[in-house]
Every structure is written in structure tokens, then in C-alpha cells.
Amino acid sequence: MSLLSRLTEDMKSAMKTGDKERLNTIRLLRGQIKDAAINQQKELDEEEEIAVLANAAKKRRESILAFQNAGRNDLVEKESNELGVIQEYLPEQLGSEEIEKIVEIAIKEAGAQTIKDLGKVMPLVMAKVKGRADGKVVSQMVKNKLSL
């Protein structure tokens, strides 16, 4: 079952149970996937759909930080709930040890030695983690490894 089909089925379930927050989030995600398909003028494959959801999750994380800094706990809760729904559809996130192994392999593959080689390493790592790790976490880990 494609991700869009799964979202549609879950949307119907949310309608039946009256879970308005979940329903609104799922509708939003379906809309974003359909918009991406329209922009690319083709049906999205599952990898592209996951990329759309990963981007939505990233925006929620950034919003949560901004709202926390502004003291808007009501909006932090709303964004956190939406993030929870989005994460149900994303692949299982990698642990820091797994990411670290992937980073070390990518550094060896790229022959990177200094922080200047960050641009060589990041594409290799991001291709391997595809939606299973936050880009900021990966970037920080690569920077730490290259600055040693």
C-alpha cells in the first residue's frame, strides 16, 4: 500500500473516530504530497513521498524550537502533536551509533580529512540515511568527526 493510500485510509478512520487533530494533520500531509506531485508533474514514488513527510517533520521541529523560545507552550503542544502523527508514517529513525557508523564509512569513501571536505561527505551520508535521520544531527556528527 502506498503512503498516500495509507494516509487516505487513516484519514477515513480519523473521521469516524472524530479525532480532529489527527484528521487535520493527515489532510495537510495528503495535500503536501499531492502538491509535490503536481509540481513534479508525475506520481511520486514512496521515496519521494517520504521526503515530503521528512520535510514536514523538519518544519515542525523548527517550529517547536521557535515556539519554545517565545514561550508559546500552546503552540509547542500543537506542533508536537502534529510531529507525532507525521512520525508514524516515516521510517524508523536511526540511532546515533548507527548514524556514526554510516558517517565513518562515508568519510573513508570520500577520503575526507578536514572540515573543508564536509561537502564531499554529506551527500554520501544523506543518501544512505534517507529520511531516517535528521540532517542537523548528521551534519553535526560529520563536523565533529572531521574536526578531530
CATH of residue 57's domain is 1.10.1510.10
Distance CA 86, CA 143 (A): 28
Q: Domain range holding 11? A: 3-89
Print burial letters for 10-34: b (CB count within 10 Å at least 16), e (below 16): bbeebeeeeeeebbbbbeebbebbe
Q: How many domains does the chain have?
A: 2
Tell whether 22 and 68 lie within a shared domain: yes
Q: pLDDT tens, 15-48? A: 999 999 999 999 999 999 999 999 999 988 888 8
Tell whether 15 and 78 lie within a shared domain: yes
Reported pTM: 0.77
Residues 42, 50 contacting (CB under 8 angstroms) = no
Tell whether 22 and 82 lie within a shared domain: yes
Q: pLDDT tens, 98-137? A: 888 888 888 888 888 888 888 888 888 888 887 788 888 8
Tell whether 47 and 116 lie within a shared domain: no
